[in-house]
Amino acid sequence: MTANNGASAGTREQVWAALDTFRIEIPSWGFANTGTRFGKFIQLGAATSIADKFADAGEVHRLTGASPTVALHVLWDLPNGASDVQSIRELEARHGVRAGSINPNLFQSQEYKFGSLANPSAEIRRKATDHLVESVEISRALGSRDVSIWVADGSNYPGSQSMRKRIAWIEEALQAAHEATNAEQRLLIEYKPFEPAAYHMDIADWGMAYHFARSAGPRAAVLVDTGHHYQGTNIEQIVAWLLHLNALGGFHFNDRKYADDDLTLGSIDPYQVFRIFHEMLSAPPKASRDVAYMIDQSHNLKGKMEAMVQSILAAQELYAKAVLVDRAMLDRLQDQGRIVEAEECFRAAFWTDVRPLVREWRAARNLPADPLRTLAESGYVQRTEQQRGAANQRSVTSYA
């Protein structure tokens, strides 16, 4: 099947219908200056305030038509907690995007040196749990469904911490957070096998996250970050398992070469993202209907706006490719053990050039045919560099 201007009406209708419903959330922190363990590279146009972040997110949504919500980090974006909700509401109305998932910060405070929810100190565990509950309350006030929880807790040396005690402490904290949710809210529990801890992470894999979700309650599910796996991990198999268990809540999409590199989606292994989308589209609607697609990446070298647009365009194209898999034919070939033909049926969709169809869809929806080029020609990046440059330049001085 070739996707070009002569594509069949059925193909066009299939892809366009999928793109009409495809949504992927973008992160506020993806527009701000970020760094590595070794340093920070300042971009003159980077967002310096929550107002800047909403402005950038609104521009990305206008260019792509796929990102109506922006994930917020409580400590960075709502430093005054619930008192900041009204200002967020005003920014939503001004920029045409809504607050999306709410992300607690359980890793930045100096008190979390030995953990947050799993800290040996009951007082510090209580502080971290209170922050988690406050995040649930902020989510409810903003009308946001998901509270995305990444726990950076772990240890660096064998014998330095009790892994069994820490399991119970995290169970207790997540149960308290779940009790604070209402029927429209969810807790999404993320896992990561390494970093920042080098010996053990308290929520190291999808099985641990699944256990904590089930222990917390029925409104908790697992969040899969594509960068949070060891090399060679079959992420789409994890996705298939979580869908089978009706336990998949969402994704954090990025790409990586070695570890949690935060590279633009599909830049290293687009075939992996395609395979994940195929599993999603193959699942029963009950299991996949409410799964949230979110981007989680911060770029130190690429322009913030360009990187975010690139990621969304890649996601749209890879999703469209996955839509084109002839699943009825694939099922028959798989059942008959026709291995090569099944693989070729699968690969045919991946190698299909869907870009002409996606461009046609954009034109039909009054979106830019080439969002990256439109961004470059609009002068938006240059204007933000002029408007924010002085503040960002001061941050260079203060950082040095």
Split at pLDDT 50, 70, 90, the class of 371 is: very high
Indicate whether 7 pLDDT > 70. Answer: no
| Residue 197: CA count within 13 A, CB half-sphere | 27
What is the pTM (predicted TM-score) of this model?
0.95
Task: Name residue, tokens 């792509």.
Answer: 64
The pLDDT value recorded for residue 398 is 45
The pLDDT of 360-388, averaged and rounded, is 97
- pLDDT 10s digits, 43-79: 999 999 999 999 999 999 999 999 999 999 999 999 9
Residues 194-211: what's their mean pLDDT? 97
What is the model's pLDDT at position 305? 98
At 400 the pLDDT is 33
Tokens of 13: 């209708």
Q: Residue 36 has what pLDDT?
A: 80
Cβ–Cβ contacts within 10 Å for residue 303, how many?
A: 18
On the question of pLDDT at 89 being above 50, the answer is: yes
Is the predicted pLDDT of residue 5 greater than 60, yes or no?
Answer: no
Of 396 and 218, the one with more pLDDT:
218
Predicted confidence (pLDDT) per residue in 129-151, tens digit = 999 999 999 999 999 999 999 99
397 has a pLDDT exceeding 90: no
Residue 22 has pLDDT above 70, yes or no: yes
More confident call, 39 vs 240: 240
- The percent of residues above 70 in pLDDT, for the chain, comes to 96
Q: Does 99 score more than 50 pLDDT? A: yes
Judged against a pLDDT cut of 50, whether residue 327 lies above it is answered with yes
For the chain, domains (ranges, CATH) are 22-321 (3.20.20.150)
pLDDT digits (tens, 9 = 90+) for 258-302: 999 999 999 999 999 999 999 999 999 999 999 999 999 989 899
Confidence of residue 38 (pLDDT cuts 50, 70, 90): confident
Residue 396: pLDDT band by 50, 70, 90 thresholds?
low
pLDDT of residue 2: 42
For residue 293, the tally of other CB atoms under 10 A from its CB is: 19
